[in-house]
Structure 1
Amino acid sequence: MQSVAAAALAASTPSAFAVGLKQSMIGMDSDGRPFDLANYAGRVSLVSFFTAGCNLCTHDLKLMREFYVDNRAKHFALIGVNIDAKKEDYVEYAKLVTLTTPADQRFPLIWRNAPNHGDTFGPVSKQPTHFVLNKDLELVFKREGTFQPSDWDQVWSKL
């Protein structure tokens, strides 16, 4: 049933990049728990699409993790969406995070290519690609490539 919902969700939005457009995502996280972006309503969310072997992605995620730890009490959420083609790369990355990151610093990791995954973010062609959503899950802005200092200012202003 969830794979039918995922397919319908993926096909439901023709233009995922319109500022103000409400975003959605369903699937499973790296711990095997169901994930639904709707559960993050009420929080400013940074959704980061990355691959395990991307050095720039790793650098951005490190900075984002620090921001997440400092600001999650202010209703900030960080969600990592892996776009590796091979599940093994995603699984290996998730295991590495589990082994090297304290539990209170972890955020959901989702594999976009899973059969039960569906989202309205549209094609992602550059690594990393980040989407900032307001508390209503509406797109505030999209950043392809490294997150810029001015991007942090925009996130901070939404908290």
Structure 2
Amino acid sequence: MNRRDFLQSVAVSSLALSGSVLAANEGKALSYNLLGTDVSGKKVQLKDYAGKTVLVSFFTFDCPVCTNDLKLMREFYVGNSNKKFILLGVNIDKNKKELDEYNEVTTLAYPKSQRFPSVWRNDPAHKDNFGIINTTPTHFVLNKQHQLVFKREGAFQGEDWDNLWLSLS
């Protein structure tokens, strides 16, 4: 078999395999779940936001990229919360004290209408199915059924804002 025939057969096999994987998963889109407690002790469940587009942002207190993204996301949240949109912060710091400090600062810096729910992922009672987070920040945009629209590891990009905006309709 020559190189061209080999590459063509590999490509055809890959397409057939990916098609069968897609067919096996068709109609079985993963629906995300989250159960946590915000800083005031209130239970936060993703299912409480059924029918809303949700931006779930995993962040750490000392991450400059996270700080910048959350500032921009807060502005988007304020401008679009009336369009069935919610921003949900999930802190992944090892120590809850860092989240508490972050929330003290945001409570003083932002009016209540600009604050979004935040939970601490390392709380023993916290449960979610977002998997391992290796990059901060990591953002998940979920549709109204809480299925993944897209995921961004690292800073939110220009096209992400467009895609987020389009997901609201």
- 2:164 matched to 1:155? yes
Partner of 2:115: 106
Secondary structure of 1:52's aligned partner? coil
- Give the alignment's TM-score, normalised by structure 2: 0.81
Amino acid at match of 2:140: F
Amino acid at match of 2:130: F
Indicate if the aligned counterparts of 1:20 and 1:140 stay in contact, CA closer than 8 A.
no
Partner of 1:41: 50
Secondary structure of 1:81's aligned partner? strand
Secondary structure of 2:97's aligned partner? helix
Secondary structure of 1:56's aligned partner? helix
Q: How much has 1:158 moved relative to structure 2?
A: 1.3
Secondary structure of 1:47's aligned partner? strand
Q: How much has 1:20 moved relative to structure 2?
A: 3.8
Q: How far apart, in 1, do the equivalents of 2:111 and 2:29 lie?
A: 34
Partner of 2:70: 61
Partner of 1:140: 149
Percent identical among aligned pairs is 54
Count of paired positions:
141
Q: Looking at secondary structure, tell me which structure has more helix per residue.
A: 2
Q: How far apart, in 2, do the equivalents of 1:143 and 1:128 lie?
A: 8
Q: How much has 1:97 moved relative to structure 2?
A: 1.0
- 2:134 matched to 1:125? yes
Runs of 5+ consecutive residues of structure 1 not aligned to the other structure: 1-18
Secondary structure of 1:32's aligned partner? coil
Indicate the structure whose relative CO is greater, using CA pairs within 8 Å and at least 6 residues apart: 1
Secondary structure of 1:89's aligned partner? helix
User: Which has the higher Rg, Structure 1 or Structure 2?
Assistant: 2
Partner of 2:41: 32
Pairing partner for 1:81 from 67, 75, 90: 90
- 2:124 matched to 1:115? yes
Amino acid at match of 2:42: R
Q: How much has 1:87 moved relative to structure 2?
A: 1.1
Superposed CA RMSD in Å reads: 1.1
Which digits, 9 at most, give the CA deviation of each residue in 1:88-109, with x for residues without a partner? 1111111111111110000001
Amino acid at match of 2:119: I
Runs of 5+ consecutive residues of structure 2 not aligned to the other structure: 1-27
Which digits, 9 at most, give the CA deviation of each residue in 1:67-126, with x for residues without a partner? 000001001100000000011111111111111111000000100000110000000010
Q: How much has 1:27 moved relative to structure 2?
A: 1.2
